Structure 1
Amino acid sequence: MRIRREPQDDLLHPPEEATNFNESRYYNFYDTAAGLGGWVRMGNRPNEGYAETTTCFYLPSGQVAFMFGRPHIEGHTAHDAGGLKFEVVEPYVEHRVSYTGPVLLLDEPKQMEDPKQAFKDNPRVDCALDLAVKATGPAWGGEPEAEEGDEVKEVDPEKSFAKGHTEQHMASTGAVTIGDEAFEIDEALGLRDHSWGPRYWQAVWWYRWLTVNLGPDLGFATTIAGTEEGGRHVHGFLYDRERYGDDRTVPIRDVELTSEYDDAFYHHAVHAKVVTDEHTYPVEGDVWSNIPLRNRRSGLVTRITEGMTRWTCGDHRGAGLAEYLDQIVDGKPVGIAAGG
């Protein structure tokens, strides 16, 4: 079995027959000088005739500027819908990200527990985003591909989350305007994600996705995921230029994770030991702003909490996201009982 990651895999893929075929891109960043963090995502669902678009910024004031939409699309030729646009300037080297449109300005981001009420009660302001997003290291991941004697296991589209998936640490430069506030973004570190294939958000019982930038020489991204039957899986990659002397990525073998939650089951602190073949990295996360998002399908409720996080590892300081996805059963996120 090989993992295919060719230049064309950084572009769009032909839609598959599955109704829930999705191809999404995601970008996050945090600018220390500006005190502004954010992320944007667009997932084309061409067989369903719409895209999922999300824009989210964490302001220095503690406010969150947020917008979500499902604009209509025809075909699958670009990530360009609802004022949000992603362009590949050069595969795995440089992308362009832009947005022009309204955002909801939330003094209390947790109001998004009830999105209908939150959109009714909070003001909208104009927003403009324009970023050049350039690679700071090699991409990781790809699409499994059979070699001689191998067989790629077919996954029921109803139970699929992604067929192919790449991640890459990036630096963003440009500008963000939110209402009357303007922010200059200068080589703000972050991560981008690209996935394709059938997807339902209910296909994963729970996961914890940590994207961590600890300066230009150390960073990682990892997913700790669990099944309804109690299974647990960890994957991810890490770069450490001080240790290895170059920008190679090494696989993450395990993560010992402990999370602290408030009374509403929102994570506010993350403690992790990230294990590679050569070293264990103790990492602490302080989640300073958190917004809950919701997806519902066939009576199931999925909650995804997006926590902008200050990360530390020894003398290294940085930022990133701690994204926690849970199916909600009896009013409680299922990953907590599993120790996630």
Structure 2
Amino acid sequence: MNYDVSWDKPHQAVDDVLWQESDAYWFYDTEQGIGGFHRIGQKPKLGKGQLTLFVFKTGAQRFVMSDGDRTEKELTSAARQESKQVVGGHTAEALGDARMRFTWEEPETSADLEFYEAFYEPRDWSKSGHSKDFMSNINSDGHLECSGKIRGVIRIGDSSYNIDALAHRDRSWGVRDNARVSMHRYRMFSGTVGPEMSFACFLLDLKGGQKMVAGFAKVEGQDYDVHDLRVITLLDSDGLTPLKSIGILTLESGEELRIETTSVQGFITPVREAYSVSQDHISTFIYKDKIGFMDLELCMNPGRGDYIPTKDDVTFVAVEQGLSGFSQYEY
């Protein structure tokens, strides 16, 4: 299905408490060392909005909001507009032609950003349809992935920065039941180096079901579905924090695309309805002498337990909510 501008706008919600709509994106300005992850979600039937925000400046400060009362807001009458979603002080607005404006306003941090350039036409996970049955359980109505560039102003603490960064965005709408997910080996591996190469893929299990993989890679103008994914991680002594990773993407042709990453900074998000936690790590990689960036999202939970890690359990990954000093990943 070809991209339509309506994909970026709020959709008509159905009468189901599990129906949700969300905008998420991640970015990294490699020259300034400024990056982050931002998600704005809504469950209209419940009248609730969900927020996740992580932003950092290497050598300076970082902010995380991924747990607690600040991450859930009552939806107001202005929450769902023709081209905009609003949750608390956070907005996602469709500007047309695959461009988006994202803002957030918190006491410790704020931003006004524009996703102004797409490296390819925004698209769904799979064109061959091999993940259709799975996606009906997670994104029943629609899904969008796109790599590109983002620019604007970010404030962290008392310091403000102008950025022009690589970015990747993810948009979904429909019924999503996280309780059906088994996150013991969940991986999402999505990023870009620029028009030359981008990728977006994931591995996930439904309870009682088989391993599911979906995604794609855009390499030198060619479009490939991803039919298998392995993510090998070098973990720190906490058994949680990935310092490096190797993503092996098996394309529909059988060819393997190998991407080796180095983690820059990350945070933990509790996923209590699935009795687990996920982590996101903004990371870098090299492709033909160019520095790219990606988000490694994963769950380290082979025992399928429900313990939520605390600050004392980790080395560098951010768990403590709010503003704190930057923590350098070292090994």
Please report the TM-score for the alignment, with normalisation by the length of structure 1: 0.76
Residue of 192, 206, 216 corresponding to 1:237 = 216
Q: Against the structure 1 CA distance between its residues 224 and 316, is the aligned structure 2 distance closer, same or farther, given a 3 Å change threshold?
A: farther
Q: Secondary structure at the match of 2:7?
A: helix
1:167 shift after superposition? 0.4
Given that 2:125 and 2:214 are in contact with CA atoms closer than 8 Å, whether structure 1 keeps it comes out as: no
Deviates more, 1:160-169 or 1:198-207: 198-207
Instruction: Note the residue ranges of structure 1 that are not aligned, 5 or more in a row.
Output: 103-124, 147-151, 334-340
Cα displacement (A) at 1:231: 2.0
Q: Which residues of 2 match residues 201-212 of structure 1 at below 5 A?
A: 201-206=178-183, 207-212=186-191
TM-score (norm 2): 0.78
- Give how far 1:87 is off: 0.7
Between Structure 1 and Structure 2, how many residues are aligned? 290
**CA-to-aligned-CA distance 1:50-80 (integer Å, 9 cap, x gap):** 1001221122127421235211114643411
Q: Residue 214 and residue 254 in structure 1: after superposition, are their counterparts in 2 closer, same or farther (change >3 A)?
A: same
CA distance in 2, matches of 1:229, 1:101: 41
Is residue 291 from structure 1 mapped to residue 264 from structure 2 by the alignment? no
Aligned to 1:309: 283
- Displacement, 1:81? 1.8
Paired position in structure 1 for 2:325: none
Are residues 1:171 and 2:149 paired? yes
**Alpha carbons 2:187, 2:231 under 8 Å: kept:** no
The letter of the residue matching 2:72 is R
8 Å CA contact 2:85–2:91 kept in 1: the answer is yes
| Alignment-derived partner of residue 233 in structure 2 | 259
The answer to whether the aligner puts 1:270 opposite 2:245 as a matched pair is: yes
Among 202, 212, 219, which residue is 1:223 paired with?
202
Contact 1:213 1:318 in 2 (8 A): yes
**Which of these residues, 85, 88, 92, is aligned with residue 86 of structure 1?**
92
- Post-superposition CA distance 1:252-308 (Å, at most 9, x none): 2222332232334333321122222454222111123221110223xx522010111
Q: Given the alignment of the two structures, is residue 184 of structure 1 paired with residue 186 of structure 2, yes or no?
A: no
How far residue 6 of structure 1 moved from its aligned partner, in angstroms, is 2.9
Partner of 1:105: none
The 10-residue stretch of structure 1 (322-331 or 75-84) with the greater mean CA deviation from structure 2: 322-331
Per the TM alignment, residue 230 of structure 1 is displaced from its structure 2 partner at its CA by 6.6
For 2:91, the aligned partner's letter is K
Among 52, 57, 63, the alignment partner of 1:65 is 63
**Structure 1 residue 155, shift from structure 2 partner:** 9.1
Q: Which has the higher contact order (CA 8 A, sep 6+)?
A: 2
Matching residue's letter, 2:115:
V
C-alpha spacing 1:282/1:143, structure 2 compared with 1 (3 Å): closer
TM-align CA RMSD: 2.8
- Alignment partner, residue 311 of structure 2: none
Within 2, Cα distance between the matches of 1:230 and 1:66? 33
